[in-house]
Amino acid sequence: MLSLSLAGKSTVWRILDEKEIKPHKIRYYLEKRDPDFDRKMQEVLMVYGEVSLEAAGAVDAGRPHPLYTGQRR
């Protein structure tokens, strides 16, 4: 509606508050559309895990990195 597009931020929040609509609290399911999502997610989680281990001092600096074999992609 054109009139709503011209409404100010406070007007929109007042309308939402009157109807007890809380768009900032809506939870939804995000559909995985990328066929390689699981593989990419696993790679990202592995990197986060390695960073947390290195930050905790659990990895020896002299040892070669387990994911890198010297080749760059």
C-beta of residue 46 within 8 angstroms of C-beta of residue 67: yes
The tokens 């600096």 sit on which residue? Answer: 61
What's the whole-model pTM score?
A: 0.35
Across all residues in the chain, what is the average pLDDT? 76
Q: How far apart are CA 5 and CA 13, in angstroms?
A: 13
pLDDT of residue 15: 86
Q: Give the residue extent of every domain in the chain.
A: 32-61
Question: pLDDT per residue over 40-64, tens digit each?
Answer: 989 998 888 888 777 776 656 566 6
Residue 66 has pLDDT above 80, yes or no: no
C-beta of residue 27 within 8 angstroms of C-beta of residue 48: no
